[in-house]
């Protein structure tokens, strides 16, 4: 496979381009988009757009622009979104619960994003066994088995900070490869796992600087 080691800064912008392209495709499938328009709608300069697209091997036509559908498909392909991606959530408290509902709702409406929530886990016996939109909350004890049984390699982590490192080590054992971490703590990534930290509080504090 031709993963030519594209820098992460570029990868990070691809979902944003893709989001814009989906919108353009709805309005005018079969049409073309320039780096100027795509950049405008993505918050990126036209030069940057061309540099990024050229880095991933997407090609446009001089004088015209990029074919919307082809470019969209290219991006989906690179981001692995042309296959079904199964996701589990660990930690179904306030936040995990909300994220679960959000994903279910969003990817129900959404056309064909192959992002599918397949499992929920918690270690609190009081909520294990409950259901969210038909998905049962499993005991964290059975995590490893469920992961291979259901075949998900991506996990959303919404447990308390104190438990997060322990849980991520379990994820590693279970063959998980990517983790979106909502716990307010920086985790040491075990070998073979990619972690992205995200924290509403951190975002708010960052913004607070600009008040």
Partner DNA sequence: TAGATTGTTAATCGATTAACAATC
Interaction site with its own copies (CB under 8 A):
11-12, 14-16, 18-20, 41-43, 78-81, 85, 87, 94-95, 97-99, 101-103, 105-106, 115, 153-154, 156, 177-180, 184-186, 194, 196-211
65 binds, among DNA, its own copies, none (CB under 5 to 8 A by kind): DNA
Sign, Cα dihedral of 85, 91, 97, 98 = negative
**Who contacts 109 (Cβ-Cβ below 8 Å, separation ≥6)?**
none
115 binds, among its own copies, DNA, none (CB under 5 to 8 A by kind): its own copies
Question: Is the Cβ–Cβ distance between 171 and 155 less than 8 Å?
Answer: yes
Question: Is the Cβ–Cβ distance between 54 and 6 less than 8 Å?
Answer: no
**Who contacts 114 (Cβ-Cβ below 8 Å, separation ≥6)?**
81, 82, 83, 84, 85
210 binds, among its own copies, DNA, none (CB under 5 to 8 A by kind): its own copies
124 binds, among DNA, its own copies, none (CB under 5 to 8 A by kind): none
91 binds, among its own copies, DNA, none (CB under 5 to 8 A by kind): none
Chain residues in the site for DNA (CB under 7 A): 7-10, 34-36, 45-48, 50-51, 53-54, 58-66
Question: Is the Cβ–Cβ distance between 172 and 149 less than 8 Å?
Answer: no
Nearest approach in angstroms of CB 35 to DNA is: 4
Nearest approach in angstroms of CB 146 to its own copies is: 18
Between 42 and 181, name the residue whose CB sits nearer to DNA: 42
Closest CA to 117 of 96, 142, 139, 93: 96
């Amino acid at each position: 496979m031709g993963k030519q080691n594209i820098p992460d800064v570029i990868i990070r912008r691809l979902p944003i381009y893709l989001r814009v392209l989906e919108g353009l495709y709805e309005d005018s499938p079969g049409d073309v988009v320039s780096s100027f328009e795509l950049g405008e709608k993505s918050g990126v300069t036209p030069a940057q757009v061309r540099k990024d697209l050229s880095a991933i091997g997407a090609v446009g036509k001089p004088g015209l622009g990029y074919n919307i559908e082809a470019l969209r498909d290219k991006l989906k392909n690179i981001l692995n979104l042309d296959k079904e991606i199964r996701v589990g959530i660990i930690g179904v408290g306030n936040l995990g619960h909300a994220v679960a509902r959000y994903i279910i709702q969003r990817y129900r409406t959404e056309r064909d994003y192959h992002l599918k929530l397949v499992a929920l886990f918690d270690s609190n016996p009081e909520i294990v066994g409950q259901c969210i939109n038909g998905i049962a909350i499993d005991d964290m004890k059975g995590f490893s088995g469920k992961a291979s049984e259901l075949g998900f390699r991506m996990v959303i982590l919404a447990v308390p900070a104190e438990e997060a490192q322990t849980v991520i080590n379990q994820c590693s054992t279970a063959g998980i490869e990517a983790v979106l971490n909502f716990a307010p703590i920086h985790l040491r990534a075990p070998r073979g796992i990619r972690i992205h930290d995200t924290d509403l509080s951190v975002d708010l504090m960052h913004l607070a600087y600009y008040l």
